[in-house]
Structure 1
Amino acid sequence: MGWVGALKVPTMRLAIPAVVLCSVLACGTVASCEYTYDDGRAPVSSPPSPAITDPVLTRDPALGQTVAGDALKAWAQDALPDVNGLSFYSSFGLLSAGESRDEETTQLPAGKYSVTLACRGARSAEFTVRNGSEILVALMLRCGTTRVKVLQLETDAVLGITITANAPANFAYRMSRI
């Protein structure tokens, strides 16, 4: 009996891999089958996929050039349109490379304001808005773009604004009550 038991063990060890191999082959064959038939109807056509376009607007090449005089005033008005007469303060100008300008707003009553900042030139301009020593906005703005920030003034205040340009740039900003 010892000899027959010894024969069964090797037979069992060979039978298990054979069963597994046959199962894998059978599953692979069944999974790759597909049944199709022609019912006489035309195939369903899907609508064409919409073309994906880049949502970023191309930058106006003229915005890489600084302007002066009436052209500067016209650009500032286009970049910062008045918001139904709710504008409390606005300013615009031209900075040379490396120049920095400090300005102050008029007395602003307590409330919520939008500060719209714009830059025109080849590079960027840095805007810093302060209420006393507290920095309310610190922003490096790429020229050719406009940015809006919202601030809340708890009390009446005169805000200090510093604009710095690392290359010649036009700047414009507007304080509007929300």
Structure 2
Amino acid sequence: MSAAGGPRWRRQAALLVALAAGTSGLAGCEYADDVGMAPAAVSPSAPAGPDAPRASRDAGLAAAEARNTAELERVLGAPPDGLIISGAGGLGTSASRGTTTSVQVIEAGRYTVTAACIGAPGAQLSVTQGSRQGGTASTLLELNLECGGVATSEVTLETGSVSAHLVQFPAGSGPGTGAVAGVRISGSGPPP
């Protein structure tokens, strides 16, 4: 004698097991129109985004940086014609901190470098050019800036990568002041 439902119950159970096995087997298949996993599933530890507020950010420091950035823009004035680099940001107290910006120079020639800083006694600007693939970069310009004013200088650039790095100077004048600096490099003519 068979249990209640007999062979019918066995057929339904067998069908259920077959469906479960078939479904789990297909879960590992790849299809031609499969576009991959959602970005959140690929990197669940990705940061919330560049606009995510920092819990440790001091409101007074943020306000000082905002004031100093507005003053920096006023001191630097309108961007010049032929601008190839324009960068600004907070200053640090060592070579590993500060503001760096870079670009690929397409046309060799003479270029005008304009820089300024606000909120610190001074800053140091270094402009370098050279290969990032095993070659060494050449320092084309080192300039000590007195904050509150604008400094300008001429450099001759070749085609290739050029970088400008600004750091607070003198070293040890104190982080957390909201000090900012900016640099602009614009074309001024053919090479000499």
Shorter-chain TM-score: what band?
0.5 to 0.7
Quickly say closer, same or farther: Cα 1:101–1:84, change in 2 above 3 A.
closer
Counterpart in 1 of 2:187? 177
- Which of 148, 153, 162 aligns to 1:149? It is 153
* Aligned equivalents of 2:183, 2:97: Cα separation in 1: 15
Structure 2 segments unaligned to the other structure (5+ residues): 1-62, 131-136
The CA deviation at 1:96 is: 4.0
Is 1:101–1:162's contact at 8 Å kept on the other side of the alignment? yes
Count of matched residue pairs: 111
What residue in structure 2 maps to residue 3 of structure 1?
none
Over alpha carbons, which structure has the higher Rg?
1
Q: Which residue of 2 aligns with 1:19?
A: none
Per the alignment, residue 67 of structure 1 pairs with 64
Question: What's the % identity of the aligned pairs?
Answer: 24
Q: Deviations over 1:68-89 (max 9, x none)?
A: 23x4443333222235532111
Q: Deviations over 1:4-34 (max 9, x none)?
A: xxxxxxxxxxxxxxxxxxxxxxxxxxxxxxx
Q: CA-atom RMSD, angstroms?
A: 2.3
1:142 to 1:107, Cα distance in 2 relative to 1, 3 A: same
| Structure-1 separation of matches of 2:184 and 2:79 | 10
**2:184 & 2:80 partners in 1: Cα distance?**
13
Answer yes or no: is 1:101 the counterpart of 2:98.
yes
Cα distance in 2 for partners of 1:80, 1:171 equals: 10
Unaligned runs of 5+ residues in structure 1 are 1-65
Alignment correspondent of 1:81: 77
Alignment of 1:128-167 (within 5 A): 128-132=126-130, 133-153=137-157, 155-165=158-168, 166=171, 167=173
Secondary structure in structure 2 of the residue aligned to 1:122:
coil
Distance 1:160 1:139 in 2: 14
User: Which TM-score applies when normalising by structure 1?
Assistant: 0.54
Match of 2:118 among 101, 117, 120: 120
- Is contact 2:116–2:183 with CA below 8 Å preserved after alignment? yes
Indicate how the Cα distance of structure 1 residues 134 and 170 shifts in structure 2: closer, same or farther if over 3 A, else same: same
How high is the TM-score relative to the length of structure 2?
0.50
| 1:16-27 superposed matches below 5 A | none
